Amino acid sequence: MSEKIIDIFPWNKHFFTGISLVDQHHQKLVNILNRLANRIAFQSSKDEIHGLFDELSDYVIYHFDAEEKIWNAYLEHDDLSLNHKDEHQQFSDQLAQLKHAIDAKPEDELLSSTLRFLTRWLVSHILKNDLYMAYVIRFIKTGSTTEQAKTEAVNKINDSMKSMIDFILTIYETLSNNTFHLVQEIHHLAEKDKQLLFITKHIPVFIAYSDQEARYRFVNQQYAELYGYDPAAIVGLHARDVLGEKLYADTKQYITRVLSGEKVRFIRHQDKAPLDILVNYVPEFDANNNVTGFIASLVDISERFETERFEQFYTSILELLTSDYALDAILNEIIKGLEKLYPEMLCSINLLDKTGHGFEKVIAPSLPELCNKGAQDGELAACVHCCDTSVATGKITIAEDIMSHPDCALFKYLAQSANLASCWSHPIISNINDVLGAFTIYHRGQHTPSDKDISLIERCAHLASIAITNCRYRQQLQIAATAFENEQEGMMIVDTNLRIIQVNKAFKKITGYSNDEIIGALPNKLSSGQHDKQFYADMWRDINQNGTWAGEIYNRRKNGEIYPEFLRISAVYDSDHTTVVNYVATFSDMTSDKKAEETIERLAFFDPLTGLPNRRLTHERLERALSVSSRNNSYGFLILIDIDKFKLFNEIHNHAFGDAFLCQFVSRLQLCLREQDTLSRMGGDEFAIILEQLSTNKFEAIEHVNTIVEKILATMNEEFDIDDISCSCTLSIGITLFINHTLELSELLKQVDIALVHAKNIAGNSYSFFDPQMQEMINNQIMLETALSNAIKSDQLELYLQSQVDQTGKIVGAEALIRWNHPEQGLINPADFIPLAEETGLIIPLGEWVLNEGCRQLQCLQQNENTQTLTLSINVSAKQFYQDNFSDVVKSAIKHNDINPEQLKLELTESILVTNIDKTVAVMNELASLGIKFSMDDFGTGYSSLQYLSRLPLNQLKIDQSFVRDIHSNNHNLVITRTIIAMAKNLGLDVIAEGVETLEQREALFAEGCTNYQGYLFNLSSG
């Protein structure tokens, strides 16, 4: 097949969304679609068509992924973005169905289904949905909320209706110009007649082919119906017999004019309405270059010219809006212009009064005198009819028959006198969704509005909205100008070249400069010289990034006096919210209040030791930071710093030393922060930092705060020198992020406290960001703590005995393992509640329960002939062991359950060696004197000292399961295990390995000399 590609789907400017990457993808996509359509149309091989479907499938996946990332960046979790993603999936699914049908469907059916689907998708998805999404994102970028952006996008697309019509007509004209080329190509392929009939049947063009004698050889359905014939009946007839003498003579002239390069159109009158038709003729030549016939293609362009006339009218009204025309005059012109275009219509505009509950004015220059008189006499109730309903509902109201419509009950007699039979009314809505009034169209006969009629009244209502809003805006400008001049605060307007273009009276009073002295000057004419370049660089960075800046600044009056002022600078953007056109500065002179304010503020809001803001001021500044974040949509952070073990400073030295340390600490801390950041003392050794307006990009903001925190940790890592005493400190830092005003202050403070607690639990010099999961974890811990406390009291705990065996497999003992049988959650693993019990102190009553229940089960074992010699191991926590009465608790459990203490073994962890070794030895010796045995649990995982180990009355070392798990494949673990076994033998201790789950592990342990084992390889029994 020839490589010539016919643009079945023509690409032009109307496809552009304004997002470069999306537009590039769309153009590439349209190119693939054209190639695919041509391959199908020209009956290419199945392999070629399969290949192009694969190329299209691969590209749409790539395109959809890129497009969805763009949408999600601004509309994540929004229904708009989710629906758009569903449309992408539907397109991919239907594309897969089309590809699957390549081998199953005939070529003409495949072409039809493909063209219908892809045409509909191009128009609906790209022009409607993607363009809408693009407008939404562009408005979000300029500062609109998501909902505002959606509304503005809808308005924007409505204004683009002409472009949509031009686009559709462009398709029609392109198809007309390419029809012959497509037919000629298909003529050389198989099943020419079948494909030609398909194309001509569906193309929106009147097509006829006649020979050199002007006899019809082919016409499509549309052409035949244009002249009142059946397609089969017209073939063979002479053009004169079908067209009539006059039109036939005109047609011969049309052919001559078209072949000379002229565009020709004529009016074809029908029963309903005349058609404006654009004609094109293409001659057919034989081998000798003689004309053998003509192909005629006629396109109905009536709608285009009607649209053009409407657009001319629309443009003329928009031009009026730039003049000083009064609102009533403009609304009159709207009505007269519309009635001139559509003489069968009569129109009125009803304006709501300021209360929004009644109409203050009816503008209807062409309505019968009776209606106008009613309006002028104030009898509006009888004239508004369905306008009331339209305004109340915000939707169009249609009365096809005024006499029978319930909303026209008061109006029907007046309408009958005025010979009005039908009407429909559309609300006039402002760009902020306020109802301003109603636009109404009347007909003298009963009439059902078409889609075109509905579109027409929608556009006219929108045009009236623009006119009303514009006129009211001019009034507001006049009010604003008056307010500007009389504002008590100084005001200054600066252009983009930073030249002062306007100031108000208060400005001149405060600064002392007149208009002639200040207009055209740069704002730095007021500079006091008290701020460095970085101050102004930061100011302009905030203005350029966020559109605003506010703060205290020192400026200079004309007489040279330097004075403090509170200054606000805001950027003013153009209508697209993309380009800055001006800057507005508002300021107030703070001279008279400054000293008194500073004194009061120092007493009420600042820490007397460090001079930093106190907790009260911190809360106020945090509230302000949240508000600024909401206005600027920028991220900020609250940081809480705690000096680890600061209490020790005061205990070792004295409070004066601690105060000196804090002052030096604050000095270092301030070096790590920006001037606009808030550093405050919350109390004691706890400090807060508020970082505002870091960025509108979340990841940039997090990166910035990470840099600051790392700098703080590095700075504080250096030793402090206080009164010739060197000391150092570590910090715990909690961080939480905020944007907008979505959280209450108390919630934000709660978050940063949670983050600080999390940092403290990690280690010294650690910091942690708040995560909602932390809050959830703490809530769960609280609930679990309460539930565990109840479990100890309400018999929800159980002990399971895990067998301990020797090398022959004989059971020589067991370990008591606790399980929590929760009434709702079932069995809860110890790993989920033992750490909580340790942290909350519940490990004490929990340990006592385990000890007593273990002794009870040991009594049962001792009373059974088969188990009476077994030893039972019970785990004891460090906190439990270090109770003052621990020995008494153990003795009481032995006595109460009447057991032989020589068969009781207490398993201790290496952590008991860290605290008080002397007390540890004393307690263990006391209990060992009763015959109780001791096992060192999880040996090798802690920091045991051999000299301590030799002092303890131990009987056994237990090899931790972390070494057992891969002992047969991990040489490191094997060496550790071998060392523990050798150490136990040298100390005269037994050794047992826990966590034995496979025969390979048991055999490896046995080979190293370990003859006692425990784990799931052996039976688990309960007592």
Candidates 964, 962, 968, 963; CA nearest to 1000 is 968
Q: Alpha-carbon distance 856 to 848, whole Å? A: 12
How many residues appear in the chain? 1023
Strand positions, DSSP E, 590-629: none
Would you call 639 exposed, middle or buried from its count of C-beta atoms within 10 A (0-12, 13-18, 19+)? buried
| Distance (Å, whole) CA 134 – CA 19 | 7
Q: What angle, 0 to 180 degrees and rounded to 10, lies between the N-to-C axes of helices 886-897 and 843-862? A: 30
DSSP string of 338-362?
Answer: HHHH-TT-EEEEEEE-TTSSSEEEE
Q: For residue 787, give Cα distances in angstroms to 435, 794, 836, 853.
A: 58, 10, 11, 20
- The secondary structure of 199-215, three-state, reads HHHHCCCEEEEEECCCE
Amino acid 179: pLDDT: 36
Of 60 and 15, the structure prediction assigns the larger pLDDT to 60
* Contact between 436 and 354 (Cβ < 8 Å): no
How far, in Å, CA of 456 to CA of 439, rounded? 11
Average pLDDT for residues 247-262, to the nearest whole number? 82
Q: What is the pLDDT of residues 313-351, one digit of tens each?
A: 888 888 887 777 888 888 998 899 888 888 888 898 988
Percent of the chain whose pLDDT exceeds 70: 85
Residue tagged 């708040």 (tokens): 770
Task: Identify the pLDDT of residue 378.
Answer: 39
User: What is the per-residue pLDDT for 85?
Assistant: 80
Contact present, 459 and 159 (Cβ < 8 Å): no
β-pair type (580-589, 562-573): antiparallel
307 close to 340: Cβ distance less than 8 angstroms: no
User: Residue 853's pLDDT band (boundaries 50, 70, 90)?
Assistant: very high
Nearest to 885 by CA among 929, 847, 840, 936: 847
Note whether 746 and 770 are within 8 A (CB): no
Q: Of the segments 35-44, 56-65, 191-200, 891-900, which one has the largest average pLDDT value?
A: 891-900
Q: What are the CA-CA distances from residue 448 to residues 159, 415, 445, 498, 563 (Å)?
A: 25, 17, 10, 59, 72
Contact 67, 130 (CB under 8 A): yes
Q: CA 683, CA 774: separation in Å to the nearest integer?
A: 24
CA distances from 67 to 21, 118, 221, 965, 986 (A): 8, 19, 41, 49, 71
Residue 152 has pLDDT above 90, yes or no: no
Using CA of residue 402, residue 403, residue 409, residue 413, what is the dihedral sign? positive
Question: What DSSP letter does each residue of 816-872 carry, written as one string?
Answer: EEEEEEETTTEEE-HHHHHHHHHHHTTHHHHHHHHHHHHHHHHHHHHTSTTTTT-EE
Task: Compute CA distances 646 → 420, 711, 723, 726, whole Å.
Answer: 90, 21, 17, 15
* Residue 435: strand, helix, or coil: strand
CA dihedral sign, ordered 43, 45, 50, 55: negative
- pLDDT tens for residues 716-765? 888 888 888 888 888 999 999 888 777 788 888 999 998 998 888 877 78
Q: What does the pLDDT read at residue 120?
A: 67
List Cα–Cα distances, 887 to 202, 326, 430, 819, 884, in angstroms: 98, 100, 84, 25, 8
Q: How far apart are CA 5 and CA 158, in angstroms?
A: 34
* Category of 613 on φ-ψ map: left (φ > 0), alpha (ψ -120 to 50) or beta: beta
Q: Give the residues across from 280 on adjacent strands.
A: 297
Pick the closest to residue 359 from 443, 459, 427 (CA basis): 427
Structure-token pair, residue 770? 């708040």
Contact in structure between 585 and 609 (CB atoms under 8 Å): no
Three-state DSSP class for residue 640: strand
Q: Is 265 exposed, middle or buried (0-12, 13-18, 19+ CB in 10 A)?
A: middle
Backbone angles phi, psi at 161, to 5 degrees: -60, -40
Nearest CA-CA partner of 17 in 150, 126, 152: 126
Instruction: Quote the pLDDT of residue 167.
Output: 58
Q: Is residue 311's pLDDT more than 80?
A: yes
Distance CA 460, CA 425 (A): 11
Q: Find tokens 């301590």 and name the residue.
A: 948
What are 503-540's pLDDT values in tens digits? 999 899 999 999 999 999 999 999 999 999 999 999 99
What pTM did the predictor assign? Answer: 0.36
> CB-based contacts of 397: which residues, under 8 Å, 6+ apart?
386, 387, 389, 390, 407, 424, 425
Q: Among 439, 432, 477, 412, which Cα is nearest to 352's? A: 439
Edge-first strand listing for the sheet containing 490-495: 500-503, 490-495, 580-589, 562-573, 548-556
β-pair type (956-959, 933-939): parallel
DSSP, residue by residue, 736-785: EEEETT-S-HHHHHHHHHHHHHHHHHH-SSEEEE--HHHHHHHHHHHHHH
Residue range 554-583, pLDDT digits in tens: 999 999 999 999 999 999 998 777 889 999
Confidence (pLDDT) at 817: 92
Query: 200-214, 381-395, 416-430: lowest mean pLDDT where?
Result: 381-395
Per-residue three-class SS string for 276-307: EEEEEEEEEECCCCCEEEEEEEEEECHHHHHH
pLDDT exceeds cutoff 60 at 276: yes
Could you report the per-residue pLDDT of 870-891, keeping only the tens digit for each? 999 999 998 899 888 999 999 9
Contact status, residue 351 vs residue 427, Cβ threshold 8 Å: no
